[in-house]
Structure 1
Amino acid sequence: MAIIQSKLRIPNFSPCLKRDRLYSYFEQQDNSTIIAVTGESGYGKTALVADYIREYDIPVVWYHLEKSDSYAHIFLSYLRFGLMQQSDLASSANLTIKPNDVEKALEDIILRLSSRTEPLFIVLDDYHCIDGSPDLKNIIEKLFTHSSPLVTFIILSRVKPALATTLRIRRTYKEITSAKLAFTRNETELFFNTLYQLNLETQELDLIFRITEGWVTSYQLIYGIINKMNRQERSLFWSKFPNVSDIFDILSTEILELQDEKTKEFLYKTSLLAELDPAVIERYLNMDNADSLLKNLLKNHLFIFQDEQGIFRYNRLFRQFLYQKYEEEVGAAAITKEHLKIASIYEDLYQFVHAFAHTTIGKDYPRAAKLMVYIRDRYNPIETMFFLDGWLEEISPGQSLANNTLFLIRCIPLSTLNELVTHFEQNIKVLKEKNNQLWLSYLQHRLAYIYFMRGEIFKSKNLFTESLKGSRLFHDYPMTALSLILIAELEGYLGNQEEALQNVRQALFISEKYGLKHTQLQALDTLSTIYINVDKLDRASICIQQALEISSTYDHSSLVFVYTNLGKLSRKKGNLKEAIEWGEKAVKFAEKYKTDFDIGWSHLHLGESYIEQGRLELAERHLSKAFTSFSLFSYYRHMVLLAQIKLYESQEDMEQLEKKKKELLEFCTFNNFHWVLNQHKDSIEEKPGVKMRVQTVVREKAKKTLSIQTLGDFRIVNNNQPVTIKRNSSIRLLQYLITKRNKQINKEVLLEEVFPEGNAESINNQLYVSLSILRKALEPDLKSGNQSKYIVRSENHFIFNSNCIDLDVDKYMILTASLDNNHSPSRLKSLLEAEKCYKGDFFQAYPYEAFLDMDRMQLQSLYIRLLKILANHYYNEKSYSTSFDYFDKILYKDPFQENIYFDYIELLLRQNLISQANDVADKMVHYIEKEMGINVQNKLYEIFSKYQNSLSLTK
C-alpha cells in the first residue's frame, strides 16, 4: 500500500471570510477535546477549520477520509504518517502498517499522543465515510480516550458522529451544526461587500439571506454569477432567484440523488408543508413513523431544522427546490389537489389558519371564505393577519403575491385590515430608512390595497404608484400587472378613462406575454368595465367572454365580478331580463362566499337593474343590503347612495330623495370625494350657496396635509410621511397647544404650564428653541415663524390653529357632539366612526402631564357614554352578543362604573345568561365593594331575585 500524501494535506481556500464568531469553539480547553463540525454539503465545514488553523498557525494532522480508510491498518498507516510528518520523521519511517501489526502500531500511536507536550489538531475530514466501521470503533475510542489534553480531535462530517455516550461524558465534547455554520445577515454583507466588494444593496443582501438561510456554497455560486453584473442586470437576476440552475444542480447531485426512492418521495410530498408536523404528515401520507423519519433526516443533515418550539422545517432554499422538482414530476393540477388534501387534515385538527392557507393555494375559494369566518371569530386579528401575511407565499414557494392578493383582501374583514394599517405604516417607514426597495414594494402594495378598499383613493393611488416602481425594478411581472390594474380602476373612479385604459392595457400585455392567468383575468374584467363606461359595448363583450373562460378555469372567486359585468353589459344593451339573470347569479355566488365586499357589489348592481326594470321594491331591498355590506367601504357606499337617489326619483318619493341627496352631499364632503360631486352634480339639486359651500369645504380639507393622532399612540404625519420630534420640550409644547387649540394663549401662562422650572431667561430660551424645532417639524419648508399657519403669534399671545390640521380629537368631538338616543342610520354611523376614532386615551403614553388630565378625563367620559349608547342600541336591535361586547368594553376601560354593572347584569338575566351575570357580579363586588368600600350585594340580590326563584348568590 502506498501513502497518497495529498490525503494528508490541509486544504487551501482563498479568499475566505474570517468567521470570528465560530473561532471560540476551537480554543484550547483544560481537557482534551472532541469537536464535531457537522452539516449538509456546502456549509463550509472544511473551510472554517482550515482557515482557523492557518490564521493561528496550529500544528495539524489533516486526514481526508474515504470509504477505503475504514480498514484499521490503512487508517493507522495514514494517521502515523501524519504524526511523523509533524516530527519530521516521515522520510525514515516504515510508511505502512500490515493488518497483523495493527495492535502494536496502535500502542505506538497512543504513546505518541498521550505524551504530547505541544498543542495538536487532528482533523478527520469526511468522517461519515468511516463512521460505524466495526474495525475502527474501538481504535477511535482508544485514541480519543488516551490522548494528551493538548490534542484536539476535529470531526468533519455530513452526519452526527456515532460516538459512545461515555466518551462524550469523559471528554470535552463540542458540536458545531449547520445552523451555526450558516452565514448570518452580517456575514452575508461581509462576504459580498467586504470580501468581494460588490456593494450590493440592502434589499439584495436581505433577499439572499432570507432565501438561502446562509447556505455557504450558494453564496459562492451567486458571486460567480453576479460579480460582473451591473445593478439593472442584477435586478433581472433577482426576479428569477433562487431558480438558478447552478444552485439547483448542486442540491440535486449532492443531496437529492444520494437518497433512496422512498426518502425522495417523502421529501417531495412533505415539501408542500411549511411546517413539518408529524401528526399532519402521518395522516397525509398514511404512515405512523413520521417523527422518527424527521429525526433521522435531522441526524443526517438533510437541510432540515428544528426550532426553539420543536417545529421541524426544511431550509427555505431546499424546500423551494423540492417543491419545484415535485411540481415538474406530477404537474400543477396534482399539486393543487395535494394542497386541498392537506387543508382538510388541518381543518380536522382545528388548525384553521393553516387550513385557510392551503385551501387558498388549492383555489377552493368558497371553502377558504368559510374558514376565514372561523378565523375571524376565534383569533385576535393582528396576530392572525401577521401570521397570514406572507404565509401563502411561504406555503407555495415561487408563487407571486399577486395570485391571491385580491381574494385575500376581499376575504379578510376590512375591520381587521384596518387594525393592520398602523403596523404597515411603521414598517414602511423603517424600510424606507433602510432603503430596502424589494420588501418596501410588497408592503406598499398591501397597504395600498387596504386604502383602496377603505375609499382613500389618493393615498391608495400614490402607494400603488410607489409599489409599481419597485416591482418594475425587480421585474416582478405579476405584481407590476396587478398594480397597473388597480391604478386603472382608481383612474376610472376619478373619471380619467384614458389614463385608466392606458394602464390596464399595459397590465393585459404583461399578463399575456408572461402567461399570468390571474392578472390577465383581472385586466380583462377591468378593461370590460372601462369599455362599458365609454359605451364601447362590442369591445366590452369580447373582454367579458374571455374573462368568463379564464375565471371558470383558474379563479372561481372572481366569477362574481364577471357575472356583475355581464349584467351591466346586458343592462346597457337594454336586455333587462338577461341583466337580472346575471345579477341574481352574481348575488347567489357572493352569498356563497359570505364576503362583505362581494355581497355589497353584487346587490348594488342587481338593484340598479331592478330600477331600470321598474321593480322598485326589489331594487330598494337589494340597495339596502348593499348599503349595509359596504358599511366600512366608504367609496363604494357613495355608489349605493347615487343608486338610491335614482330609485327615489323613480318612486317620486321627494322626502326620501332630498334626504339621500343631503346624505350624499355630507358623505362626499366629509370624505373629500370632491370629484364625485363634480361627476354627479346633476343628480344633486343645488340650492343657492350649496355649491360654493361644498367647494369651500372640499378645498379646505384638501389643504390638510398635516395629520396628528392624539388618541392612543401619539403620531404625526405630514404629506403621508411620519414626523418625528426629537426634543421632549417641543412635544410637551405641542401637547399643551393642542389642549388650548384655536384659543389665544397668554405667553406667561404657557411658560408657567410647559416650562415650570428655571429662571426667566432660561425658560424663555427653552420656549423659543422648542417652538423653533416644533415649527420645523410640522412645517419643514417654513422660512419664517411669522409665516406659520399652525402656530400663530400675536404680540404676547399664541394660537394653535387646528382648523387646517387633520386632528383626530377634533373629529372625535364633532362625531360625539350630541350623544343621545337618536339611532338613525347616519347617526349610528357617526357613533361607530367615533368609536373607531378613539384608539386609546388622550396622549396615553404621557400619563403624568397634569395639563392633559382634564381633556383626558372628558374624552374618556365621552367614550364611555358612547359605548353605553351603542350597547343599548344593539340590545334593542336584539343583537345581544354585540350589546354585551360593548358592556365588556366599558368595564374593561373603567371597572368602577357602578351603574353599568347593574344595567349589564339585569340585561344578562333577561336573556337567562345566569352564569355570565354571576361573573359580572363577582367583578363588581371586587372593584366596587372590596376596593371602593361601597356595599353592592343587597342591590345585587334584589336584581337576581327578580329573575331567579332559587339563588346561590353567596358571593
Structure 2
Amino acid sequence: MIILESKLRVPNYSLYLVRNRLLSFIENHLDRSLICLTSDGGYGKTTLISSFVKEKKLPAVWYQLSQQDRNPHTFLSYMKTAILRRISGEQMIYDVRPEQIDEELDHLSALLSTWPTRLIIILDQYQSVDQCEEIQHILTRLIENASPSVTFIITSRTRPSLQLVSLKLQNRLAELHTKELAFTKDEIGMFFVDLHGIALQENEIDLIYHKTEGWVTSLQLLKDLIKEVNDADRPSFWLKFNGTPDINDYLSAEILASQSEEIRDFLYKTCLLTDINSNVINKFLGIHNADEILEHLLRNHLFIYKNNLGMIKYHKLFRSFLYRELSKRHSSTEIDEFHQKLSLIYEKKSDFIHAFVHSVMGSQFINAATLMKSMKERFTRSQFLTLIDKLSENFSPDLTFASISLFLFRCIPLDMIKDLITPLEINFKSMNGNMNPKLSVHFQHQLAAIYYFVGEMNKAEQLCSNSLNESLSIKDQEMICKNLSLQAMLCMKTGRQEEAVQCAQEALSYRGTYSNYHPHHMSLCVLAEIYLDQNKLLKADSLIKETLKLSEERFDCAILFPYRLMGKYYRLQGDYQEAFAWFRKAEDIGVQFHLDYDLGNVYLEMVAAYMETGQWEEAELYLSKSSVSFTHNIYLSNKVKQMQQALSEKRGSSTSAVDMAAPTPQLEAHRPLVVQEPEHAKISIRVLGKFEIQSGDQIVTLKRKSSLRLLQFFITHRESKLTKDSIIDEIFPEGSFEAVNNQFYVTLSYLRKTLEPQLKSGRDSLFIKQSGEHYTLSLDHMDLDIHQFTQLIHKGEYSSLEHLGKLKKAELLYRGDYFEEYPYVSFLELVREKFRVYYLKVLQELAVYYWDQADYEQGISYFEKALRKEPYEESVYLEYMERLMKANLVLQAKKVSELYQKYIEKELGIPVQAKLQKMFHST
C-alpha cells in the first residue's frame, strides 16, 4: 500500500498566532481520552492543533483524513504506520490487508493500552470519515482501551458520531466549538497589529470583530486586502465591507458547493429572516421539513448558530454573502414578493412587528401603514422600541435602518415617539465608548429625527450636527447625505433659508442610490418650498415636478410632499380651486398612511388658503385639526397658536375663533416631606455608615470601649426598657458579680458624662433614663439617623408622592451599614443585616416607582444601586432584567445577565441559564 507522507506530517505554518487561552485549555485537558474541536470551515482548527504540538513540543501522531481513508484497512494502515514510527523512529510502512483488520485492531489496541508516556494522536478533518461505521467502531475501540497517557484529538466540521455521551459521563471528553474557536477581539488585535504589523485603530478592531464574528479565514483573507488600503481610505473601506471576493469564493467553493440544491435554495431565501423560525419557514417555502434542515445546518456548523438565548441566527458575513447570491438568482421584484409573503405570514400570526418590517422591505408601504394603525391601537412604547430594534437589525442586508427611519417615525404616533426618547438615549449612553463609529452615526441621526418630529429643534440640530461630523470623518456618504437632508429641513423650519439651500444642494451632490432615495427626495422638497417662500415660482415648479416624478416611480407616503407643495404653488398663484384639489390629494395620502405629523402640515397650508379666501369657518376647522396633529410637537404647536391669533385678528375678534388649548391642570403642590427632628435636640448620632456623635459644632469622642459598647447596645434596643442584668450579660459577660457590677456603673457614668458634660446627676440625664432597675435610651432630645430611617420606611397613610419623598429621604440617610466599622460585635450583626434588607427594599421600591413613571434613567440608577449594594440578591436581577426586556433595553438587560451569571451562578453555584433563556425568549 502507498502511504502519502503529507497525511502523516504536522502542517507547517510559518506565521501563526499563538492563542494561549486555547493552548492552555488543550494542555489542561490532556488527561481526557478525547478532545474534539468542532466548527464549520475556516475557524483555524488545524492551525491551532499544529501550533499546540509545536509550542508544547509534545510527542504526537498526525493523521490528516480524506474520503480515501473510509476503508477500514486504509485507516488502520495509516494509524499503525504512524504509531509504530513513533516507537521505532524509522520511516517504515505497515500495510494492513482487509482480512487482517480484526487481528491488527487487537494488536494496536493492546499496544495503546500499555503506552507508558504522553502521546497525542491527532485525527484532522475527521468529517471525511465520520459516516463510516467501521471507522467509528475502530476508533471507539482504540479510545476505550488507550492508556491514560494517550489523548486523541479530533478536528471536524461535524460533531463526531462516536459514543461522546458515554465519554462525557466518564469525564473523559473535552470539547471546543465555534464559539470558543472564533477569535476574540483581543486576538483580532494581536493578529493584525502584533503578528502582521498592520496598524489598526481600536474602533477598526471593534468593527472587524462585529462584522466577522471572529471567523478566522475571513481574517486571513482580509489582511492582504487591508495592507493595500491607505489610512485615509480606511473609513470608507470599512463602511462598505461585507466580505471580499476571496471570502465569497471561499464560501462558495468550500462550503456552499458541497450542499444539495434543496439546502442552497433554503439558505438563499431564509437569509431574509433575522429570527429563524421553522414554522414560518415551512409556510414561506411551502415545505414541511424546516426543523430537519435547521438541525442539519446546526449540526454541521453551516452558516447559522444558536446564540446564548437559544435563538437561531445567521453569521453576519454569511448572511450578506447569501443575500448577494439570492440577488443573482432573483430580481428585486421577486425579492420584494418574498418580503410581502413573509409579511402576510407574520400578520396572520398577529406578529405585527415582523409583518411591518417585511412590508417596508418589500416596498408595500400602504400595507405597512395599515399594520401601523393596528399597532397604534395595541402597542405599548416598549413594543415600539422593539420595532425600532428589529428594523435596525437590517432585514435586507443591503439596506440600512436609516433608509427607512423617516418613514417609520412618520408612522409612529407622536405621543409614542416622545416616550421613546429616554430609553433610546439610555441605550446610546450605555453603548457609548463601545460603539463603532458607523453605529454611532446612525444612532445619533435616529435620535435627531425623533427630536425633529416632536419639535425640539435645538436637540435635533445638535444630534444631527454630531452625526454629520462623524459621518464626514468616516466618509460614510450615505449618512452624510441623510444628515444634510435632515439639517436642510431643520434650517428651513427655523427660518434659515440660505443654510437650508446650501445643505439641500450638498445632499443632492451625492450620487443617487436606493438608500439615498429619501434624502434626495426631501432635499428637493426643501429647495422647492424655499423657492415658493421666496416667490421664485418657476424654479419651484420645476423641482416639484421632479419630486412628483420620483414619488410616482415608488409609491409610498413620500408622494404627500409634492402634492402639498403643488397645492401651495397654486395658492401662491391665486388658483385656489387647483390648490385645494392638490391639498385634498395630499390629505388622502396622509389619512391612508395615518400620518398625523404630515397631515398637520397639510392642514396648515389649507388654513392659509381658506384665510386668503375669507372662508373663516373652514379655516377654523382645519386649524383645529392641525392643533390636534401637533399636540406633541412643541415647535409646531406654537406655530398653530400664532395662526390662531392671526385668524382671530383677521376676523376682528378679541378672542381666537378656535378654542385655545386649555392649560394643563397643575397637580396640587405637595409640601416637601420633612421628618421632624426632636424638639430641642441636644445631640446628633449617626450610626448608618461612619459612626459619629456631634453636640452643636463639636464632635464627641467615646474613648472608653466599654462605654461605646454600652451606647451601641442602647441604640440597638432603643426605647426598650433594659434591665441592668441583661446589659451586663451582653457588655460584661466575664468576671465576678462585684467586679462587673462596679464596671457597669463606671461605664454608664462615663457614657453619660461624655454625652452631657454639664450633667450633675445621672438620674437627670436627657438621654439615658433610669426607672428603678430599668434603663432606657430616650430619643426626645436626640437626632438619631437609624430612628429616622425606621420612621421613613414605614408606609402608613400617605399619598404616593409623600411616600416617595419619605423613601428618598431614607435613601439619603443610609450612608452605610449599621455600625459598619464594628463588624465583629455579635449583637449588632442581625440588626445590621435587617437594615441592609430594608435599604435594598427602599432602592427597589424607588426603582419600580420611577420605572412605572417611564423615567427609565432614574429606574436604572436605583436598580444599579441595589445591585452594587447586594450583588448576590437574585430577586433584584430578575425584576431588573424583566423590566429592561419589557422596555426593550436589550443591551442593558444582557449586561445585567452577565453580572447575574457571575455572582449567582459562578460564585454561588445556583444555575441560572434556564431562567435566562425563559426570560429572553418570552419577552
Q: Summarize the Cα distance change of 1:602–1:511 in structure 2 as closer, same or farther, 3 Å threshold.
A: farther
Structure 2 Cα separation of the partners of residues 289 and 134 of structure 1: 26
* Residues 674-693 of structure 1 aligned to structure 2 (within 5 Å): none
Question: Is the alpha carbon distance of 1:751 and 1:637 closer, same or farther for their aligned partners in structure 2, counting shifts above 3 Å?
Answer: farther
| Cα separation, 1, equivalents of 2:14 and 2:610 | 78
* Corresponding residue number in structure 1 for 2:119: 120
**In structure 1, what residue type is equivalent to 2:439?**
W
2:395 alignment counterpart: 395
Query: CA separation of 1:380/1:847 partners in 2, compared to 1, >3 Å: closer, same or farther?
Result: farther
Equivalence for 1:158: 157
Q: Deviations over 1:526-575 (max 9, x none)?
A: 22112111111111111111111222222511122221111111111211
Aligned equivalent of 2:677: none
State whether residues 485 and 520 of structure 2, in contact with CA within 8 Å, keep that contact through their aligned partners in structure 1: no
Partner of 2:629: 629
What letter corresponds to residue 502 of structure 2 in structure 1? Answer: Q
Give the partner amino acid of 1:270: T
**Match for residue 133 of structure 1?**
132
- Would you say 1:188 and 2:188 are equivalent positions? yes
Determine the C-alpha separation between the residues in 2 that align with 1:22 and 1:247. 25
Match of 1:848 among 807, 811, 818: 811
Shift of the alpha carbon at 1:424?
A: 3.5
Cα distance between partner residues in 1 of 2:632 and 2:251: 49
In the TM superposition, residue 111 of structure 1 has moved relative to its aligned partner by 2.1
Deviation of 1:603 after TM superposition, in Å, equals 2.0
| 1:442-484 deviation digits (Å, cap 9, x = unpaired) | 2211111122122221221121111012222333222211110
Tell whether the 8 Å contact from 2:403 to 2:515 is kept in structure 1 after alignment.
Answer: no
Mapping for residues 570-719 of structure 1, pairs under 5 Å:
570-656=570-656
In structure 2, the CA distance between the partners of 1:471 and 1:174, relative to structure 1 (3 Å rule), is same
Show the counterpart of 1:516. 516
In structure 2, give the amino acid aligned to 1:146.
N
The aligned counterpart of 2:410 is: 410
Counterpart of 1:96 in structure 2 is 95
Aligned residue in 2 for 1:453: 453
1:67 and 2:67 aligned? yes
Alpha carbons of 1:205 and 1:84: their partners in 2 closer, same or farther (altered >3 Å)?
Answer: same
Q: CA deviation at 1:113?
A: 0.9
Structure 2 CA distance for aligned equivalents of residues 242 and 472 of structure 1 = 20
C-alpha distance in 2 between matches for 1:175 and 1:252 = 28
For 2:57, the equivalent position in structure 1 comes to 57
Q: What is the one-letter code of the residue matched to 1:140?
A: L
What is the one-letter code of the residue matched to 1:285?
L
Deviation at 1:108, TM superposition (A): 2.5
- How far residue 515 of structure 1 moved from its aligned partner, in angstroms, is 7.9
**Aligned residue in 1 for 2:142:** 143
The equivalent residue for 1:316 is 316
Structure 1: tracts of 5 or more residues without a match: 668-710, 712-735, 740-747, 764-837, 853-859, 865-884, 887-955
Root mean square deviation, CA, Å: 3.6
After TM superposition, the score normalised by the length of structure 2 is 0.71
User: Following the alignment from structure 1 to structure 2, what is the Cα–Cα distance between the partners of residues 332 and 147?
Assistant: 59
* Partner residue in 1 for 2:354: 354
2:335 aligned residue: 335
Q: CA deviation at 1:243?
A: 4.1
Partner of 2:385: 385
For structure 2, the residue ranges without an aligned partner over 5 or more in a row are 675-681, 700-800, 816-844, 854-923
Question: What is the letter of the counterpart of residue 523 of structure 1?
Answer: S
Decide whether aligned partners of structure 1 residues 440 and 82 sit closer, same or farther in structure 2, where only a CA change above 3 A counts: same
Deviations 1:329-381 (A, max 9, x none): 21222111111110110111111111111112122223223323433443442
Q: Kindly state the Cα deviation for residue 590 of structure 1 after the two structures are TM-superposed.
A: 0.8
Contact 1:80 1:109 in 2 (8 A): yes
Shift in Å, 1:94 = 4.7
Q: Is the 8 A contact 1:35 1:153 kept in 2?
A: yes
Q: Which residue of 2 is the match for residue 507 of structure 1?
A: 507
Q: Distance in 1 between matches of 2:16 and 2:432?
A: 33
Change (3 A) 1:82 1:429: same
SS at match of 1:124: strand
Q: Which residues of 2 match residues 911-950 of structure 1 at below 5 A?
A: none
In the other structure, the counterpart of 2:232 is 232
Aligned equivalents of 1:494 and 1:472: distance in 2? 24
Q: 1:839 to 1:487 in 2, by over 3 A?
A: farther
Equivalent position SS for 2:655:
helix
1:586 is displaced (CA, Å) by 1.1
Q: Secondary structure at the match of 2:512?
A: helix
Distance 1:290 1:659, change over 3 A: closer
| Residues in 2 aligned to 1:407 and 1:463: alpha-carbon distance in whole angstroms | 19
Match of 1:671 in 2: none
Q: Give me the TM-score of the superposition, normalised by structure 1.
A: 0.68
Distance 1:435 1:333, change over 3 A: closer
Residues 1:428 and 1:141: Cα distance change in structure 2 (over 3 Å): closer
Is contact 1:357–1:392 with CA below 8 Å preserved after alignment? no
Residue in structure 1 matched with residue 84 of structure 2 by the alignment: 84
**Residue type of the partner of 2:88?**
D
Q: Quickly say closer, same or farther: Cα 1:575–1:847, change in 2 above 3 A.
A: farther
Q: What's the secondary structure of 2:509's corresponding residue?
A: helix
Bigger shift: 174-183 or 62-71?
A: 174-183
**Aligned-pair distance for 1:386?**
4.4
Is 1:108 aligned to 2:71, yes or no? no
Q: Which amino acid aligns with 1:153?
A: F
Equivalent residue runs for 1:360-379 within 5 Å:
360-379=360-379
Take 1:241 and 1:577, find their aligned partners in 2: how far apart are those partners? 53
Relative distance call for 1:337 and 1:187 in structure 2 (3 A) is same
* Deviation sequence 1:371-423 (CA, Å, 0-9, x none): 23433443442354145236344311131233201111111223333333233
Contact 2:623 2:658 in 1 (8 A): no
| 1:778-857 alignment runs, 5 A limit | 847-849=810-812
User: Bigger CA drift: 838-847 or 498-507?
Assistant: 838-847
- For the 8 Å contact 2:31–2:151, the answer to whether it is kept is no
Q: What residue is the counterpart of 1:265 in the other structure?
A: 265
Q: Is the 8 A contact 2:488 2:523 kept in 1?
A: no
Which one-letter code corresponds to 2:399 in the other structure? Q
The offset of 1:50, in angstroms, is 1.9
Taking the aligned partners of 2:625 and 2:476, their CA distance within structure 1 comes to: 39
Answer yes or no: is the 8 Å Cα contact 2:339–2:362 preserved in 1. yes
User: Retained in 2: the 8 A contact 1:517–1:554?
Assistant: no
Q: Is the 8 A contact 2:567 2:582 kept in 1?
A: yes
> Shift of the alpha carbon at 1:625?
0.8
Letter paired with 2:102:
E
1:493 is matched with which residue?
493
Could you tell me how far 1:839 is from its partner in structure 2?
15
Q: Does 1:245 align with 2:208?
A: no
In the alignment, which residue of structure 2 is the partner of 1:210?
210
The 2-side partners of 1:15 and 1:42 are apart by 16
Tell me which residue corresponds to 1:465: 465
| Alpha-carbon distance between aligned partners in 1 of 2:515 and 2:371, rounded to the nearest angstrom | 30
Deviation digits for residues 810-858 of structure 1, max 9, x if unmatched?
A: xxxxxxxxxxxxxxxxxxxxxxxxxxxx999569766433699xxxxxx
Paired with 2:658 and 2:292, the residues of 1 have a C-alpha distance of 73
**What SS does the aligned partner of 1:354 have?**
helix
Q: Is the 8 A contact 2:365 2:557 kept in 1?
A: yes
2:290 is aligned to: 290
CA distance in 1, matches of 2:807, 2:178: 46
Amino acid at match of 1:97: V
Structure 1 residue aligned with 2:551: 551
Cα distance in 2 for partners of 1:485, 1:14 equals: 52
| Structure 1 Cα separation of the partners of residues 35 and 451 of structure 2 | 56
Q: Aligned pair in 2 of structure 1 residues 841, 522: CA closer, same or farther (>3 Å)?
A: farther
Contact 1:400–1:479 under 8 Å retained in 2: no
Higher-Rg structure is 2
Instruction: Please list the CA deviations of residues 257-316 of structure 1 after superposition, one character each: whole Å capped at 9, or x if unmatched.
Output: 222211111111111111110110111111111111110111121121123443322112
Structure 1 residues 137 and 505: alpha-carbon distance in aligned structure 2, compared to 1, 3 A threshold:
same
Aligned mates of 1:376, 1:174 — CA distance in 2: 52
Q: Is the 8 A contact 2:30 2:151 kept in 1?
A: no
Instruction: Indicate if the aligned counterparts of 1:145 and 1:167 stay in contact, CA closer than 8 A.
Output: no
**Would you say 1:7 and 2:4 are equivalent positions?**
no
